[in-house]
Amino acid sequence: MTSDDRSFLNWAAMAIAVAALFLGFFAIGRVGAPEQAAGSEGSGTASVIELDLGALKLSPEHIMAPPGQVTVRITNTDAQVHNLSIMGSRTPDLQPGDTVDLELGELAVGVYPMFCEIPGHNEAGMNGNLHIIMNAEPGPYTGSGTSDGAVDHFHGFDTWEEMQTAMDERALRFLPDVEAKGEFGGQPLDYEMVDGYKQFVVTAQLADWEVEPGRIVEAYTYNGTVPAPSIHVEVGDMVRVILKNELPTPTTIHWHGIRVPNEMDGVPPFTQAAVEPGQEFVYEFEALEPAVGIYHSHNGASQVLDGLFGTMTIGQMQTPEVLLDQGFKATPDQEIQMTLNDAGVIGLSLNGKSFPATQPYVGTVGDTVMVHYQNEGLMAHPMHLHQPLGWIIAKDGKELLVPIPGDTINIAPGERYTVLYKLVDPGVWAWHCHILTHAERDDGMFGMVTAFIVNPA
């Protein structure tokens, strides 16, 4: 046999080995059929299990594999950012469509919790378990959420009475003590007149913010609150906003939905340089037309999601004449700004608070209430106030030619809706996002829930 023949045979043997290895990996398939772990004969199997991160849900919620080396292949199929933590190992934050392998090492028989660490997502139900079971076929676990295969109707409680008691006790924390909820954001921002300008001072700074009782986060804020103080001016006013940056990173202010000169639009590097830590920038513009807008950072999405947002309104919305004929008042009895969020350190929240720390609203039968919804989160939220029908009178600050009725109003990220309600029946009326996992879980209401307390006339 010549040296060329031996070289050819060696090459062919190597090609066959590589092909066999490829076929072996291919045979693992989507659910990762078990295979003897390389270099660890007799130490167990190597399993790959696929798991999708959906809309605040793991799919499947429970997975299983035999003892041995375990890898979970995770894909974010949702429209918002998620991650996954299992027994101390954690994926990076995954953008929509991202896939990553989370290698867990060699696991013994047991149950290992899985959950998303984005604030509010675990509480919304984005969790499950990895079950390591002798002789298991890797893939979905069909035991309905308990390690012994029994169906858990009471979601971790021993009886339905215990489960209901926990739900009721959590709900009743909402009403009695408003003071215990801590500071509410979105209060009107004072100004002073300087050289013909209404001058506002806005300081971007880190601050501890209590999102719900006992859960305090380090938030990005304007003037120390979430949402930032609200700014209101009239059409024709000259506006000056002095931004002082006390954050550890550069930032800006973008005037979302507000007509301003290009150089005041707050988008680095196109309209200005980012405002560095310790520096300030002065925004000046004329309030040219009525608006329902938002002011927020435009220098990294995380700054906004972590709390760097507030509302700005110019002028007054008018009650349409057709609603005056139905008993609505020309001047509302109260005007409410409601800013929605679902991510960052703030998580699922209304005006920077999660139930039961959300602010209750109080009115009287016959009142007209104007609500400006603004969505600063990553996904749409269908907001629903029980009982009184809402009338949409403006979208993104522009009055509609004809108001539109709606008891569930879907607000996409960046959108603003102005809605009129007439309070017609006394009682405590729930007010919440109607994506149910944003408002309720197995131990009761949480997240994007508040209530309107309507007193008799």
Note whether 189 and 229 are within 8 A (CB).
yes
Token couple for 129: 């378990």
Q: What is residue 55's predicted lDDT score, i.e. its pLDDT?
A: 84
* Contacts of 161 by beta carbon, 8 Å cutoff, 6+ apart: none
Comparing CA positions, the residue from 257, 452, 436, 446 lying closest to residue 336 is 452
Find the distance separating the first CA and the last CA of the chain, reported in whole Å: 106
Characterise 78 by phi-psi region: left (phi > 0), alpha (psi -120 to 50), beta (else).
beta
Write the CA distances from 68 to 42, 62, 106, 140, 345, integer angstroms. Answer: 10, 18, 5, 17, 35
Note whether 184 and 359 are within 8 A (CB).
yes
Q: What is the C-alpha separation between 31 and 136, in angstroms, rounded?
A: 12
pLDDT values of the chain reduced to their tens digit, one per residue, 457 residues? 444 444 433 433 433 333 333 333 333 233 333 333 333 333 458 999 999 998 888 998 889 898 899 999 999 998 888 999 998 899 999 999 999 999 999 998 888 889 999 887 887 788 888 988 877 889 887 654 444 444 556 666 778 888 888 888 888 888 766 656 778 999 999 999 999 999 999 999 999 999 988 889 999 999 999 999 999 999 999 999 999 999 999 999 999 999 999 999 999 999 999 999 999 999 999 999 999 999 999 998 899 999 999 999 999 999 999 999 999 999 999 999 999 999 889 999 999 999 999 999 999 999 999 999 999 998 999 999 998 899 999 999 999 999 999 999 999 999 999 999 999 999 999 999 999 889 988 788 999 999 999 999 9
Q: What is residue 140's predicted lDDT score, i.e. its pLDDT?
A: 87
Note whether 401 and 394 are within 8 A (CB).
no
* Contacts of 4 by beta carbon, 8 Å cutoff, 6+ apart: none
Q: What is residue 41's predicted lDDT score, i.e. its pLDDT?
A: 35
Write the CA distances from 257 to 267, 315, 350, 395, 428, integer angstroms. Answer: 14, 14, 20, 11, 34
Characterise 412 by phi-psi region: left (phi > 0), alpha (psi -120 to 50), beta (else).
beta
**Three-state DSSP class for 405?**
strand
Residue with tokens 């997975």: 63
3-state secondary structure 244-313: EECCCCCECCEEECCCCCHHHCCCCCCCCCCECCCCEEEEEEECCCCEEEEEECCCCHHHHHCCCEEEEE
CA atoms lying within 13 Å on the CB side of residue 241: 29
Show the beta-strand stretches assigned E in 40-108: 45-53, 58-59, 62-65, 68-76, 85-86, 89-90, 99-107
Note whether 205 and 247 are within 8 A (CB).
yes
pTM comes to 0.74
Token couple for 249: 């990173």
Q: Tell me the DSSP string of 356-386.
A: TSSPPEEEETT-EEEEEEEE-SSS-EEEEES
Write the CA distances from 51 to 46, 77, 325, integer angstroms. Answer: 16, 10, 55
**Three-state DSSP class for 5?**
helix
Q: What is the C-alpha separation between 220 and 208, in angstroms, rounded?
A: 9
Q: What is residue 406's predicted lDDT score, i.e. its pLDDT?
A: 95
**Three-state DSSP class for 52?**
strand
Query: Radius of gyration of the chain from Cα atoms?
Result: 27
Q: What is the C-alpha separation between 108 and 133, in angstroms, rounded?
A: 8
Q: What is residue 247's predicted lDDT score, i.e. its pLDDT?
A: 97
Note whether 305 and 343 are within 8 A (CB).
yes
ω before 92 within 30° of 0 (cis)? no
Q: What is the C-alpha separation between 414 and 292, in angstroms, rounded?
A: 12
